[in-house]
Amino acid sequence: MNILKVSPRGFCLGVVKSIKMAKEALKMYPNKDIYMIGLLVHNKNVVSDFESQGIKIIDDWKKSRLEIIKSIPKGSVVVFSAHGTDKNVVDYAQENGLIVIDTKCEWVLETENLINDYLKLGFEIIFIGKHNHPETIALTSINKEKIHLVTNTQEVENLNLNGESDIFVTNQTTLSIIDTQIIYEKIKTKYKNVKFKNDLCDATLVRQKAVLDLKTDEVDLLFVVGDERSNNTLKLVELAENKGIRSIRINSKNDIDLNEIKDVNTIAVTAGASTPSIIQNEVITYLESLCKP
């Protein structure tokens, strides 16, 4: 059995930055309560590590971020996730005695700035994203009347915008390169005054291209190491499957079923952008140990 290590894989710069900022908060405010609003990044191992160091994790889907913020005692530290947070929530926190650590990814910030620029020019915004993903929630909250979320071509068909409107199209940073293009092509057939900026982040793009470059006649199975809530991880699995390569998402080496790799010649391994190197390396080391006679 051969093990192919797909490159690049694992942590992106945005995740590294967010983790660094959260660690710095622990050092800067050792005597204050620190609350993480939502998951800093979509990986249980990363979040559990911070929880073990005393950060309180609040990830309650039944409450809005604003409701959560209003329940936190003044003087506390709040850490907002890499995916971005509704500006109204951040503003409320800053104006009501909370110390804010906003770890928003630079790519999300760039998309946010573009949306604001085109709104000022009077454009309608079509945002290609995933329902209930924190990045989508944050960016569409900028202007709920002028920003229109679509997740597939049918939702594009259901849009009822003025055919003469100027429209700017952008997207969640962690989507599939293929899905994004299909939806954009559908938008172009329906509206004529369209400008498009593909805001898939570089890390998402190069990791997806690395999977697309795998040869179906050379790889029998792909393990994608990552969390079930990590959209970029799920898209790597989806791209491989659509290409014809059997693909399995795992959280760690403990999820590897030996029956799944029986009679397999070549296994490729990649990882989502929020998966720690130590977890990836444990998977690779374990698989390589199975190759030894």
More confident residue, 200 or 186: 186
Q: Are both 210 and 222 inside the same structural domain?
A: yes
| Residue 232 annotated as lining a ligand binding site | yes
pLDDT digit string, tens, across residues 258-281: 999 988 999 999 999 999 999 999
Q: Are both 162 and 90 inside the same structural domain?
A: no
Q: Are both 279 and 230 inside the same structural domain?
A: yes
Please enumerate in sequence order all residues whose Cβ is within 8 A of that of 288, keeping only pairs 6 or more positions apart, or say none.
3
Q: Are 66 and 86 in contact (CB under 8 A)?
A: yes
CATH code of the domain in which 127 resides: 3.40.1010.20
Final residue before a domain boundary, out of 69, 104, 139: 104
Q: Are both 187 and 111 inside the same structural domain?
A: yes
| Residue 131 annotated as lining a ligand binding site | no
Final residue before a domain boundary, out of 180, 196, 212: 196
CATH code of the domain in which 99 resides: 3.40.50.11270
pLDDT digit string, tens, across residues 69-114: 999 999 999 999 999 999 899 999 999 999 999 999 999 999 999 9
Final residue before a domain boundary, out of 132, 167, 196: 196
pLDDT interval class at 282 (50, 70, 90): very high
| Closest by CA position to 79, among listed 108, 102, 63 | 102
Q: Are both 180 and 213 inside the same structural domain?
A: no
Tracing tokens 């160091």 back to the chain, one arrives at 53
Q: Are both 134 and 167 inside the same structural domain?
A: yes
Q: Are both 159 and 117 inside the same structural domain?
A: yes
Tokens of 281: 């390396």
| Residue 252 annotated as lining a ligand binding site | no
Q: Are 1 and 264 in contact (CB under 8 A)?
A: yes
Q: Are both 112 and 98 inside the same structural domain?
A: no
Number of Cβ within a 10 Å radius of residue 5: 15
Residue 293: its pLDDT value, please?
63
| Residue 173 annotated as lining a ligand binding site | yes
Q: Are 226 and 274 in contact (CB under 8 A)?
A: yes
Q: Are both 215 and 270 inside the same structural domain?
A: yes
Q: Are both 117 and 92 inside the same structural domain?
A: no
List the catalytic residues: 135
Q: Where are the alpha helices (DSSP H) in 8-55?
A: 13-28, 44-52
Domain that includes residue 121, residue range: 107-196
Q: Are 74 and 35 in contact (CB under 8 A)?
A: no
Q: Are both 238 and 155 inside the same structural domain?
A: no
What is the C-alpha separation between 253 and 280, in angstroms, rounded? 8
Q: Are both 98 and 115 inside the same structural domain?
A: no
pLDDT digit string, tens, across residues 3-53: 999 999 989 888 999 999 999 999 999 999 999 999 999 999 999 999 999
| Residue 83 annotated as lining a ligand binding site | yes
Dihedral angle computed from the Cα positions of residues 165, 173, 242 and 259, in that order, rounded to the nearest 10 degrees:
-150
Number of domains in the chain: 3
